[in-house]
Structure 1
Amino acid sequence: MGIKLILFSSERCSVCHALKIKVEELAKEFKAQFEEISIDKNPEVAANRLILSAPVVILEIDDKEVNRWAGIFSISEIENFLKRVL
């Protein structure tokens, strides 16, 4: 099973910078791949994934989106979801 956490972030977003560390830690804990995509540098990728603002975290399992979290949320929401589905 391929698990990936993707963080869509913006360089101007202080929440994104703090969230990156937490999402990377979760990825390690759950043996998931981590990827960060800048919506500033990759607006076409963000648009294709229907990302309107940052931060957004997407969980993919076997290359299929399973869930996403947008805006301000607790990292424990992602952790609890991962514990339920994995």
Structure 2
Amino acid sequence: MRTRMTISLEPSTAAQIRREAEYDGLDISSWLAQVAQREATRRAYARAAAERRAAGIDNEHRLAAYAARRAAVRHHASQEGTGAA
């Protein structure tokens, strides 16, 4: 469902939006909707990251630990595959 809106923009901003929409092969309404959805998603991820930081969960540390576990599993699997203990 679509809702009609009227917005006022500087001519240069309107021209830039028009160019970007044309470049992406979209009409202006679709392009603006897509940009709004991307921005909403970006903000949701940013809020979630802020909540993790506030809770003391360090993303980089968590990802490094995950990578180390994966490497250990791969190493173990390669050792089993060769018959080495």
TM over 0.5: no
TM-score, length-normalised on structure 2? 0.21
TM-score, length-normalised on structure 1? 0.21
Larger radius of gyration: 2
Higher normalized contact order (CA 8 Å, seq sep 6+, divided by chain length): 1
Greater share of strand: 1
